[in-house]
Amino acid sequence: MSGKSMALRVGRYRPERASEPYVDEYEVPASDDTVVLDALNYIKDRIDGSLAYRWSCRMGVCGSCGMMVNGVPRLTCSTFLREFGSGPVVVEPLRYFPVIRDLVVDMSDFLEKLRTVKPWIIRKDDRPVEEGEFLQTPDEVDRYKQFSMCINCMLCFSACPVYGQDPDFLGPAVIALAHRYNLDSRDQGHAERHEVLELNNGIWDCTFVGECTVVCPKDVDPAAAIQRSKVSTATQTLRSVVWPFGGRE
């Protein structure tokens, strides 16, 4: 420990004490390898046990510890205090989500939307297990692999001004995961996802601000997923109108 310290301004919301959120400032030890989550744990263990926040793996895998750090959605376990010079570091709950307590947001909206796009492999002709696995070539895996890396941390939602303006928008991660299954050669559920994805509040609400991709800690690139989804939908619609026999191959 170098003996240095840094000020952490933490957004607090304790509905039983105050109806409005407020800010508490804490002084935490800050070495070169201290991440924001370490600082929050230090506060919780040594200064103020009442602070509430979510975390689990500490290594950028579980997607629990997403918060606004100096106004940017980040995984706090992968955000080092040294990035911010002499501070202070402002930690707030993820933007655009209702806050339940301190840094804990209500994830219900995200989880409900995720369910609506059926993010699992849908088969029309399910085969018995004895017939063996569905084989895929490395190329077929490559088509969707990037979009399958999502850890549901919701940083992209907090980066998305469209979601901020219209809470009914399906949102970046949800569309990226729907796109991931649509691209999977084993999946036959495109039509089942169509209504949610391509009609109200789906892909066409996206104005391609692109910030979801910038903040994604797993390089999922939801912005590209949404735009490619738009391209493939538009192409299919055009084919069904222009081509003989609805463009079926």
In terms of CB distance, is 28 or 215 closer to another protein?
Answer: 215
- Looking at residue 127, its amino acid is R
8 A C-beta contact, residue 218 and residue 225: no
Helices 190-198 & 172-182 angle (0-180, nearest 10): 160
Number of residues that bind another protein (CB under 8 A): 37
**For another protein, which residue of 231, 238, 243, 246 counts as binding (CB under 8 A)?**
231
For another protein, the closer of residues 77 and 144 by Cβ is 144
Q: Which of residues 137-176 bind another protein (CB under 8 A)?
A: 161, 164-165, 167-168
Residue window 53-82: x/- pattern of binding to another protein, with contact defined by CB under 8 A: ------------------x-----------
Helices 222-242 and 190-198 meet at what angle, rounded to 10? 110
- The answer to whether residue 240 forms part of the interface with another protein (CB under 8 A) is no
**DSSP labels, 180-242:** HHHT-TT---HHHHHHHHHSTTSGGG-----HHHHH-TT---HHHHHHHHHHHHHHHHHHHHH
Query: Per CB under 8 A, which of residues 102..141 are in contact with another protein?
Result: 106, 108-109, 112-113, 116
Amino acid identity at 61? V
96 sits near another protein (criterion: CB under 8 A) = yes
The reply to whether 90 sits near another protein by the rule CB under 8 A is no
The strand pairing partners of 139, in sequence order, are none
Q: Which of residues 174-213 bind another protein (CB under 8 A)?
A: 196, 200-201, 207-211, 213
Of 17 and 124, nearer to another protein (C-beta) is 17
The C-alpha angle with vertex 115 and arms to 111 and 196, in degrees rounded to 5, equals: 115
CB 106 within 8 A of CB 56: no
- HEC profile of 32-44: CCCEHHHHHHHHH
CB 33, min distance to another protein, A: 28
**Are 169 and 209 spatial neighbours (Cβ–Cβ below 8 Å)?**
no
Q: How far is CA 138 from the centre of its chain?
A: 26
Q: Which is nearer to another protein, 187 or 221 (CB)?
A: 221
Among 10, 203, 220, 223, binds another protein (CB under 8 A): 223
Pattern 10-49, another protein, x by CB under 8 A: ---x-x---xxx----------------------------
Residues that bind another protein (CB under 8 A): 13, 15, 19-21, 71, 95-96, 98-100, 106, 108-109, 112-113, 116, 161, 164-165, 167-168, 196, 200-201, 207-211, 213-214, 223-224, 227-228, 231
